[in-house]
């Protein structure tokens, strides 16, 4: 297979990624039902997912494609994300060490005990595969949305999808033709996220400057945004991430991915 390709210019690359949007409203059929991707488009994005990098050749991920309307409706309920029902395609992206353990078993080997490594490399593989899928979809003119709301109903999702031990949902991922005009979203200044040779600990002034840049991302209903308030709602004392913490710990234990004595602590 030839590895040659026509290189894009730096401007082309910037333009492609500047066109990225997180989209939750999709073009649907007149009755509101999803418009599936054409078979060749679906095949291309799934091919892209499977071409993602992986550690140790293991491919420690699985994608569960959600097609049945009743299952989509259940995931809407569990994740509190309505667009799972209307997207052209919806997936649950999972870390998966079940498969590699089974390969060892069926070839006469004994799987080891490495739950922390499983989480580390499984989530890495899952993110890379899902990102490849989304990037390929954007190349075909679609947009999508990563859905962290799987944490809102993690135990129910594991049950609904019949996930065996060793498989942990990371996020849902929807794609489709955009039916909304999504604004360009800012990002934290590059010096705070791209470090050279050593980690740069941001000064208070740099962080306040980053907040000013990021404030528009939290604007709602014509009101000016407050990024720190949004972060506090997620990550501050009493925020939603603290509420999700025991849910994830319990799921790690249920799926055999927690170190002994660590679940629920």
Whether the pTM exceeds 0.85: the reply is yes
Alpha-carbon distance values, 52 to 2, 17, 112, 120 (Å):
18, 18, 25, 16
Contact of 167 with 95, CB cutoff 8 Å:
yes
Q: Which domain holds residue 50?
A: 21-182
Contact of 168 with 251, CB cutoff 8 Å:
yes
60 inside domain: yes
SS3 97: coil
Q: How far is CA 137 from the centre of its chain?
A: 14
% of the chain at pLDDT higher than 70: 97
Look at residues 257, 263, 259 and name the one whose alpha carbon lies nearest to residue 94: 257
CB environment 135-153: b (16+ within 10 A), e (fewer): bbbbeeebbbbbbebbbbb
Q: How far apart are CA 121 and CA 96, in angstroms?
A: 9
Looking at the 3D structure of the chain, how many domains does it have?
1
Contact of 26 with 58, CB cutoff 8 Å:
no
> Which CATH number fits the domain that encloses residue 33?
3.40.109.10
Contact of 253 with 265, CB cutoff 8 Å:
no
How does pLDDT run across 102-137, given as a tens digit for each residue? 999 999 999 999 999 999 999 999 999 999 999 999
Task: Please say if the pLDDT value at position 2 is more than 80.
Answer: no
Per-residue model confidence (pLDDT) at position 224: 81
Q: How far is CA 181 from the centre of its chain?
A: 22
151 inside domain: yes
User: Residue with structure tokens 């909304």?
Assistant: 180
Q: How far apart are CA 172 and CA 149, in angstroms?
A: 8
Task: Please say if the pLDDT value at position 49 is more than 60.
Answer: yes
Q: Count CA within 13 A, CB hemisphere, residue 28.
A: 14
247 inside domain: no
How does pLDDT run across 7-41, given as a tens digit for each residue? 999 999 999 999 999 999 999 999 999 999 999 99
């Amino acid at each position: 297979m030839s590895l040659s390709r026509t290189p894009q210019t730096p401007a082309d690359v910037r333009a492609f990624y500047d066109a990225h949007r997180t989209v939750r409203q999709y073009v649907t059929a007149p009755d509101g039902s999803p418009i599936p991707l054409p078979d060749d488009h679906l095949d291309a994005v799934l091919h892209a997912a499977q071409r993602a990098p992986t550690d140790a050749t293991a491919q420690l991920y699985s994608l569960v494609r959600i097609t049945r309307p009743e299952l989509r409706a259940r995931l809407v309920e569990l994740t509190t994300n309505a667009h799972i029902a209307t997207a052209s395609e919806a997936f649950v992206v999972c870390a998966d060490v079940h498969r590699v353990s089974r390969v060892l078993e069926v070839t006469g080997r004994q799987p080891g005990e490495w739950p922390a490594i499983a989480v580390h490399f499984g989530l890495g593989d899952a993110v890379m595969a899902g990102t490849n899928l989304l990037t390929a979809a954007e190349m075909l003119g679609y947009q999508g949305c990563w859905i962290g709301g799987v944490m809102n109903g993690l135990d129910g999702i594991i049950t609904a999808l019949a996930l065996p031990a060793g498989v942990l949902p990371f996020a849902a991922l929807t794609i489709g033709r955009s039916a909304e005009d999504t604004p360009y979203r800012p990002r934290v200044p590059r010096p705070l996220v791209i470090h050279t040779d050593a980690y740069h600990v941001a000064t208070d002034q740099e962080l306040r400057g980053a907040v000013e840049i990021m404030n528009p991302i939290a604007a709602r209903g014509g009101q000016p945004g407050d990024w720190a308030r949004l972060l506090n709602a997620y990550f501050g004392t009493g925020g939603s991430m603290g509420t999700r913490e025991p849910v994830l710990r319990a799921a790690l234990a249920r799926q055999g991915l927690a170190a002994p004595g660590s679940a629920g602590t």
